[in-house]
Structure 1
Amino acid sequence: MGFLTGEPLALDLINTRAHTPSGVIDALDTAESFESWLAEQGDRLAPLSSPPTAADLAAVRVLRRHVAEAVEQVRQGARPSPDAVEALNRAVRAAPPYPVATWDGARLIADIRRDGDERDRLLARLAEAAVELLTDPDVVKVRGCEGPHCTMRFLPAHPRRRWCSPALCGNRVRVARYHQRHNG
């Protein structure tokens, strides 16, 4: 579907809704698009055992709004709203992680488990990722794409990064500059 992925999980969540030069995309509009986004996050999020319900999508959209609000405030050096912080904490508390000892056939290993239903576990993991980002000193480096009308957020590995993706907005900006210089 073209979602920007590979950023910290909290930013990937925020980027599930974005205005791009191609139009508005939202991975939380339909169960199918959300399942596609979850599949892209397969190394970080467990897939759901059944298609997400309207209530599941609504809960993730609410969490996304709180995460986006908090990230925007914190990256600008402001205090996040108490409502956003409480929403994150409430989601994490609904399915907190805990270690359990498991015998793997040769030795004891520590596994991380969560109680709660699938939606609670998903929301808890997303909220936990947001807390990790919001408490990381690098959160102030989160940037918005400089592409026209693009609202994607990213954490640049290089300080000169300006676009969500060189293939998306970066290429469009370079092509537009080329045409402006040569057709000026």
Structure 2
Amino acid sequence: MSDLVPLIGEPLALDLVNTRSFAGDLLVRPADLLAWWEQEADRLPEAVPAQAGADDLAAVRAVREQVARALDHVRRGERPPSADLEALNRAQRAAPAIDEAVWDGEAVTLVRRREGSPGLRLAACLAEDAARLLADPAIARIRTCEAEDCVMLFLPTHPRRRWCSPTRCGNRVRVARHYQRHKVR
């Protein structure tokens, strides 16, 4: 993964889209995917596998592009491309989730499981999260960071939030403003 730390903590679908940053793509190699997966592990039902292949990376990157295009349209109140919605649905069907009845030693419990390779399961989970986000009225509140060279998306928890991260872009913008105010002419 690049030296940049990906922005995480937004809705999962936004975190995925945010792996495309102003500095480049943070999901270039299967190892990059595993590193990002590890950072998001507490929010994903799938355990991080020991390894991932090029097909796994391709499945997740395809979902990322479909989510990005659909989000771009829906945020503006426009119809998303049908091909992207269909592709997100196909990604979910490629690794359908079932609630498996399992005896845990004391009672029957339900464990959600998906079939398929690690990448297909992750892509399905991300597509499912994206579908929920696309259907959520909160999508209209998603913003792009106001820092000049940042493309990150975020769902503000406070109406005055302007940057993807106060420590990432917020500090950079404030320092630049301070420098402009105090530079010797």
Could you state the TM-score of these two structures normalised by the residue count of structure 1? 0.92
Deviations 1:131-174 (A, max 9, x none): 01101110111100001110000111111111010111100110
AA in 2 matched with 1:139: I
Q: Could you tell me which residue of structure 2 aligns to residue 5 of structure 1?
A: 8
The alignment status of 1:55 with 2:58, answered yes or no, reads: no
- Report 1:7-156 matches (<5 A): 7-19=10-22, 24-45=23-44, 46-156=46-156
Q: Which moved more, 1:72-81 or 1:94-103?
A: 94-103
AA in 2 matched with 1:103: W
Q: Which runs of 5+ in 2 are unaligned?
A: none
The alignment status of 1:161 with 2:161, answered yes or no, reads: yes
Structure 1 residue 119: Cα displacement: 2.1
The answer on whether the counterparts of 1:3 and 1:16 sit within 8 Å (CA) in structure 2 is yes
Could you state the TM-score of these two structures normalised by the residue count of structure 2? 0.91
Structure 1 residue 51: Cα displacement: 2.6
Tell me the C-alpha RMSD between the 2 structures: 1.4
Structure 1 residue runs of 4+, over 3 Å off? Answer: none
Structure 1 residue 48: Cα displacement: 4.4
Q: Which moved more, 1:115-124 or 1:146-155?
A: 115-124
The answer on whether the counterparts of 1:66 and 1:88 sit within 8 Å (CA) in structure 2 is yes
AA in 2 matched with 1:90: R
CA–CA distance in structure 1, aligned partners of residues 98 and 105 of structure 2? 21
Deviations 1:89-136 (A, max 9, x none): 000111121212222222222211112222221110010010011011
The answer on whether the counterparts of 1:28 and 1:34 sit within 8 Å (CA) in structure 2 is yes
Count of residues paired in the alignment: 180
